Structure 1
Amino acid sequence: MNKMESGLTEMKIGFIGAGNMAFGIAKGILMSEYVRPENVKVSAPSSNNLGRFQEMGVAVTHSNQEVVSSSRLVFLAVKPHLVPAVLQEVAPLVTQQHIVVSVAAGITIATLEGLLHPDSIVLRLMPNLPCMVQEGALLFCRGTRAKPEDGAFLRSLLAPCGLVEEGPENWIDVHTGLSGSGVAFVYLFAEALAEGGVKMGIPSALAHRIAAQTVLGAGHLLRDSGKHPAQLRSDVCTPGGTTIFGLHALEKGGVRAATMGAVEAATERARELGRK
């Protein structure tokens, strides 16, 4: 076991908030052989979402302060509008030894650092829901006092969740629109794809299974082939064939512009949350 792996094994990890993002990250990191459930603790004001963490062997509490006191790395996974109140509550307990990782959409590093002790180590992370099946896309940035080794540690911790990348903060809101919200856009397309099959005579349950597998297979091929999406799309098309007729219908419906507009709208909403 190397030094990084040893650090993961010994690290006490806390989650303030028990929503889907916290659950996805927790489930992902617990797939690692290095993170033990007894070293993880989660807090939430109600018990509604805590049961699923307990099923993984994770300790739960209603006290945010208890999570901070018993953890070194703390994921702040609450709704953006709750961040100021939560940090005001726990800030006196955050020391220079803590690493605070925010997954609150739109909340900037400057805001987070302004609500904590000046020497606090802060990182900002945007995961997405497929972390729950170790197929997430996660982007993080380091705050003013976070060192490269803090970023490397976070990357190593989150590796079981999927693709983990580091970038400048101005990419985080874009990633929110592209990947965080983009998951829902893919689901919408998959739903429409299946309904097209139903319209043409395939039973609904079967159409949805086929649509899910089509999206999954296309995604794996896109990731693993290294080809540009346009090249893969071209590979499917034959002159005068079925696919080019279907693509023409999508283009007439404005699917490309609508998708780009959806990413833009989600990104601007993330930025708006930050300004508020």
Structure 2
Amino acid sequence: MPLKGLKIGCLGGGAMAQALLTGLINAGIPAGDLYVSDTRRERLTFLRKELGVHALESNKELVESLDIVILAVKPQVVADALAETGALFRPEQTLISIAAGITTGFIENFLSRGVPVIRVMPNTACLLGAGASALCAGTHATLRDRERAMAIFTAVGRAVEVPENLMDAVTGLSGSGPAYMFVILEAMADAGVRVGLPRDVALLLSAQTMLGAARMVLETSEHPGRLKNMVTTPGGTAIAGVYALEEGGLRVTLMRAVEDATSRSREMSAGLK
């Protein structure tokens, strides 16, 4: 395993850091090899008690102690965090950033020459071990660094590697995608209520239906169009519902949502340069 025997930690102790640390523990990494730093002492106390990881108040101490550092702070404070710690990183370490919109080049400007950087765009489902993440490698990242990052993010879901120029598209699709799914899910549950189902029943059936459909795509590798065709029998109920979705422009609306979110990601990235 690429992570065996390595010291790994998160600079920043928010929800995503907690999800990643939990995923690593569930994947067999000893809590004694895991670290976190944060400015909030109460957050460090919680993570130490909840997960058993080392909780440090000093970002510098964290960077100096680890083999893999996950930069897990908000994008607007990345520059401050790297101004404080950037000179401490060493070429034998791997720096992984999950800060949305922050390029590998931006991060490398704060580091000594040769420090490898991996940029990752995860999503909130990492909290349940069902995340969708995409990663790209910086100038000095090697196969070793990419394998380390892949091992971390497959511990909390599924991960793919893409060129960095596609990371804004990833942000528009899977990074922002849970919000689209929640809107669809809420609408389905509301529809269930409208046709007579109790609210809790409608929500449960809607959520399980969405989960089951996603699993069918992932586990059968069938094209979703083919799976749809298996459900829509001639003159049946499903094709009547699909017709209403097509009439309402669901496909175009979802495509526009991804495009608009991608454009917004590009705007935010440009503003941080």
Asked if these proteins are the same fold (TM beyond 0.5), I'd say yes
Aligned-partner Cα distance in 2 for 1:213–1:258? 23
Q: Tell whether 2:259 aligns with 1:264.
A: yes
User: What are the equivalent positions in structure 2 for 1:89-100 lying under 5 Å apart?
Assistant: 89-100=84-95
Equivalent position of 1:102 in the other structure:
97
Equivalent position of 1:175 in the other structure:
170
Asked whether the equivalents of residues 15 and 22 of structure 1 are also in contact (C-alpha less than 8 Å), the reply is yes
Aligned-partner Cα distance in 2 for 1:124–1:214? 33
> Partner of 2:158: helix, strand, or coil?
strand
Q: Structure 1 pair 47/272, CA: closer, same or farther in 2 (3 Å)?
A: farther
Equivalent position of 2:18 in the other structure:
23
Equivalent position of 2:31 in the other structure:
37
Equivalent position of 1:128 in the other structure:
123
> Partner of 2:109: helix, strand, or coil?
helix
User: What are the equivalent positions in structure 2 for 1:2-13 lying under 5 Å apart?
Assistant: 5=1, 8-13=3-8
The one-letter amino acid of 1:236's match is V
User: What displacement does 1:150 show?
Assistant: 1.5
Equivalent position of 2:196 in the other structure:
201
> Partner of 1:11: helix, strand, or coil?
coil
Name the stretch that deviates more: 87-96 or 15-24: 15-24
The one-letter amino acid of 1:40's match is L
Aligned-partner Cα distance in 2 for 1:50–1:206? 39
Q: Structure 1 pair 206/51, CA: closer, same or farther in 2 (3 Å)?
A: farther
User: What are the equivalent positions in structure 2 for 1:1-276 lying under 5 Å apart?
Assistant: 5=1, 8-33=3-28, 35-47=29-41, 49-50=43-44, 52-54=46-48, 55-276=50-271
Asked whether the equivalents of residues 87 and 110 of structure 2 are also in contact (C-alpha less than 8 Å), the reply is no
Q: Structure 1 pair 179/48, CA: closer, same or farther in 2 (3 Å)?
A: farther
Instruction: Normalising by structure 2, report the TM-score.
Output: 0.93
The one-letter amino acid of 1:38's match is G
User: What displacement does 1:39 show?
Assistant: 1.2
Unaligned runs of 5+ in 1: none
The one-letter amino acid of 2:103's match is T
The one-letter amino acid of 2:51's match is M
The one-letter amino acid of 1:250's match is L
Identity score, percent: 39
Q: What is the alpha-carbon root mean square deviation over aligned residues? A: 1.6
Asked whether the equivalents of residues 9 and 36 of structure 1 are also in contact (C-alpha less than 8 Å), the reply is no
Asked whether the equivalents of residues 107 and 273 of structure 1 are also in contact (C-alpha less than 8 Å), the reply is no
Aligned-partner Cα distance in 2 for 1:62–1:249? 55
Unaligned runs of 5+ in 2: none
> Partner of 1:10: helix, strand, or coil?
coil
Deviations 1:95-130 (A, max 9, x none): 222211011111111111112222211110111122
The one-letter amino acid of 2:188's match is L
Asked whether the equivalents of residues 80 and 273 of structure 1 are also in contact (C-alpha less than 8 Å), the reply is no
